[in-house]
Amino acid sequence: MSTELRRTHVVLDIFKSLIADGNGSDGLRAGDICTRLREMGLPMDTWQVRGELSNLEANGSVVVDSHSGAWFLAEPTDSEAPLKDTA
């Protein structure tokens, strides 16, 4: 697994864990994910997290509210493609 794909998986896992912990009823922001990553000793720049959220949006895993800028877990569909290694 490439570094890029691993980073995408980490961001998605953190996103899901924040939702499972009861956060994100109003959506999540890149900073929420950055905070959790720092707590875990895996710091990542905000722009990197934002880029991974865009990758996940393109994949159909998350969606962004264009008015608030908040990110939400996408509704599961049969058409959701598996994450691909682009390296």
Domain spans of the chain, in order of start: 3-73
pLDDT at 3: 84
pLDDT of residue 11 exceeding 80, the answer is yes
Spatial distance between the Cα atoms of 16 and 59, rounded to a whole number of angstroms: 15
Q: What angle do CA 8, 69, 45 make, to 5 degrees?
A: 40
The pTM of this model reads 0.83
Q: Region 5-18: what's the mean pLDDT?
A: 95
Q: What's the CATH fold of domain 3-73?
A: Arc Repressor Mutant, subunit A (1.10.10)
**Over residues 57-66, mean pLDDT:** 96
Write the CB contacts of 16 (distance below 8 Å, at least 6 apart in sequence). Answer: 73
pLDDT of residue 80: 52
Has residue 84 got a pLDDT over 70?
no
